[in-house]
Structure 1
């Protein structure tokens, strides 16, 4: 996938991929094992378990917009390095936490390392538009591989060494990523005279009234709410309802991730080279909807397995496509701020997903299924109308759908 990239783009994409993947370990490495572990902490309850998982997303959301704005004005790398250091501190605190409230605080501080918008903006700044979707797909595929490795080894490590070790491992790898990014990835050179839009608080209003921004914000928020809600509920159900041991959870997650990645790569190429953004985008939503419907029909252990498989297919179709569309439809001079809004919604979605999952653990999976199906139907209809209008306006390639 890198053969059409310049040497400078390859260096940037690989470096940023490493930093983003390590950064996402805070979510991925802990997600399959965190909810069962939190139940063992002093003072734990279903609501507080959901809060401890979701508070990470809330803190992320709180600083994405100001960090994105600052990265537009002063540069991407200073923001990224500062946020990564904060994340390392929170990870160390998580490894030392002994009760549910100290874990909530640790996850909150972890989330203050809100550098996703600056990282994505940096990747967009250092790649050409005609290869940008593939750059995001490469980052997405690498994150997917990290996720596959995480869900393979996290239950094993958690079972034999303990969840606190995962927090310490995340802190160490984040330190390595921070050093690599600081010394080996260049800062984009954008001079004031080259700007068409100068950093200004007026840009906030510009983005808050932009249709493309609003719909893509909604999409990424829903996608990550589903991700966190599913992985708050499913691991918990596997352990405590179906008595499926944690060290074997990789038998479900790993095939699901690998199959979805094999589907993602050609789909991304089709979307970018043949202008089939609409078809791939809507297929991703339908796959997630199918997962919830199948879970509702089958229920039980195999229903949960089917939900995971269908969800990951949809997730990996949409995860590279949504930010790529945002960078295509947003002016480069406000890209950091735009991605700040975007990632705020992503992590607010993660926060809501954690709370949502906590309620489901208390009241039953029917609440997840009914609400998720309704959200998917609304999401599909909004996206269909929006993407159709983009094609009619000539902002995307031709579509046959």
Structure 2
């Protein structure tokens, strides 16, 4: 990467990690420490957990579109300041309603779409995959750190102190944004990073994408279900809130060491569907274990470990599947709906989980509801097709290609390795999906020659890139 790319990438990654820490640190402590707030009960605790996802799911696509018009840096900074305001509101209150309002304000300050789009626009095509991979890793890393740090910080300085820490983290993000992100709004257009309104119907009618969106909805609903119940269940078994981070830390570390080889195996052996179904099955076993544990610590801890194993496995597989299944020019739109489904799951899991938890035998009801959701997900997963094992390739094309667009498309498709082709003359780009077995530099050179042999050579044809999906 160039110095500019490195600066932008690490700046955006730092902002993303600090923001995710602020979101996730609340999850493992709100159920226990939140009950000390005025007017608090289990249903309102669930609302406080889920309201962030509800508001963010509503705001995500509109704010993402606004960032395309007003500039990514401006929207990122404004979003961080709004998130800071919500954190201050939550830090100053001693009522559950104040926490709910503060979390709702935090949700308005969504920056995910702007961060992803800006990162895509500020990196060259051949480096974009690396940058996106770093973002994906940082998400998992932030989640792991947050669920360990949250209980430690809250046990030391209280829930209000935790929100003040989140405020400081977010203000640090604002400083990083001011110092590292470029001020120019004249970014290059990258079709894969933007939400295309005219193509929404294409995404909504794609059955495979719908099944994957349903999957991320289920996964994050169950994540919220568990964090509504698990902290209180740990207390009932004698695990003090100040010590619960140790259980999370062990479960997360084991999960990291187990999950990464599984994902590599799934890709290498082209067995993603098999591993995917195994992941959903493990999640089902986890929820059954947590329901059946009662006061048995061993079964309870096994359930927690199985849950984190399945969560990290599915969190790694689902974005990859979205990238493989989505049309080559509509990945941004597909990821927009994917992220929205994710946050709707957060909202539903928190709100419904809190309501169920407030009922008699509430913990059992929450786990029964999560088991029902996993069973539905497992049924849907069994109907999924094996994903195409393809790599996305973007080849720059000259502007004088309009008259022979169909000819070049046909010639590219005659190559056995090429599965899909979309040429956008206005963007000087050809978007291709190629079998991963054949995605070698020699193939890229051959595809470039097919284009160049039909048009007047220009300097625009000299650059091309591969993006692993």
- Give the alignment's TM-score, normalised by structure 1: 0.85
1:343-369 C-alpha deviation (Å, 9 max, x unpaired): 221111111111232134223232223
C-alpha contact (below 8 Å) 2:229/2:366 kept by paired residues: no
Counterpart selection for 2:40 from 28, 40, 44: 44
Partners of 2:365 and 2:111 lie apart in 1 by 33
User: Greater CA deviation, 365-374 or 109-118?
Assistant: 365-374
Q: CA deviation at 1:181?
A: 3.5
Aligned to 2:13: 17
Separation in 2 of the partners of 1:380 and 1:38? 34
Aligned counterpart, 2:377: 379
Find out whether 1:254 has 2:249 as its counterpart.
yes
Q: Which has the higher strand share?
A: 2
Which stretch shows the higher mean deviation, 336-345 or 79-88? 336-345
When structure 1 is superposed on structure 2, of 228-237 and 10-19 the one drifting more is 10-19
Residues 26-105 of structure 1 correspond to what in structure 2 (within 5 A)? 26-72=22-68, 75-105=71-101
The answer to whether residue 317 in structure 2 is matched with residue 321 in structure 1 is yes
CA distance in 1, matches of 2:142, 2:193: 37
- Kindly report which structure 2 residues correspond to 1:72-151, keeping only aligned pairs within 5 A, or say none: 72=68, 75-124=71-120, 138-151=134-147
Deviations 1:162-221 (A, max 9, x none): 111111111211222233234424678324xx8699976433333322334322221111
CA distance in 1, matches of 2:436, 2:377: 22
Query: Where do 1:169-188 residues align within 5 Å?
Result: 169-185=165-181
Pair member with larger Rg: 2
- Give unpaired runs (5+ residues) of structure 1: none
Provide the alpha-carbon RMSD of the alignment.
3.3
Give the aligned partner of residue 302 of structure 2: 306
**CA shift for structure 1 position 92:** 1.0
Partner Cα distance (2:267, 2:4) in 1:
21
CA distance in 2, matches of 1:125, 1:140: 17
Q: Distance in 2 between matches of 1:183 and 1:269?
A: 37
Structure 2: give runs of 5+ residues left out of the alignment: 391-417, 420-432, 438-469
Q: Distance in 1 between matches of 2:352 and 2:26?
A: 18
Q: SS of the counterpart of 2:39?
A: coil
Q: Give the paired residue count.
A: 391
SS at match of 1:189: coil
Quote the residue 1:347 is aligned against.
Answer: 343
Higher helix content, 1 or 2? 1
Residues 23 and 174 of structure 1 are in contact (CA less than 8 Å); yes or no, is this contact kept in structure 2? yes
Is the contact made by 2:85 and 2:106 (CA closer than 8 Å) also made in structure 1?
Answer: yes
Work out the CA distance in 2 between the residues paired with 1:111 and 1:303. 36
Cα-to-partner distance string for 1:342-396 (whole Å, 9 max, x where unaligned)? 2221111111111232134223232223332232232123234323264699677
In the alignment, the residues of structure 1 paired with residue 129 and residue 367 of structure 2 have an alpha-carbon distance, to the nearest angstrom, of 32
Matched, 1:228 2:224: yes
Name the CA distance, whole Å, in 1 between partners of 2:186 and 2:263: 26
Greater CA deviation, 11-20 or 131-140? 131-140
User: Are the structure 2 counterparts of residues 290 and 119 from structure 1 closer, same or farther at C-alpha, using a change threshold of 3 Å?
Assistant: farther
Q: Is the 8 A contact 2:191 2:330 kept in 1?
A: no
1:370 aligned to 2:368?
Answer: yes
In the TM superposition, what is the alpha-carbon distance from 1:234 to its structure 2 partner?
0.4
**CA–CA distance in 2 between the matches of 1:132 and 1:271?**
23
CA distance in 2, matches of 1:125, 1:328: 21
Distance change >3 Å, CA 200–CA 278, structure 1 → 2: closer
Structure 1 residues 299, 334: CA separation in 2 closer, same or farther (over 3 Å shift)? same
- CA drift at 1:22: 1.3
The one of 155, 159, 170 aligned to 2:151: 155
Q: CA deviation at 1:248?
A: 0.6
TM-score, normalization: structure 2? 0.73
Alignment of 1:292 with 2:287, yes or no, is yes
SS at 2:385 equivalent:
helix
Q: Give the 3 Å change call, closer, same or farther, for CA 268–198 of structure 1 in structure 2.
A: closer
Query: In 2, Cα distance between the equivalents of 1:267 and 1:247?
Result: 33
Which range moved further: 218-227 or 204-213? 204-213
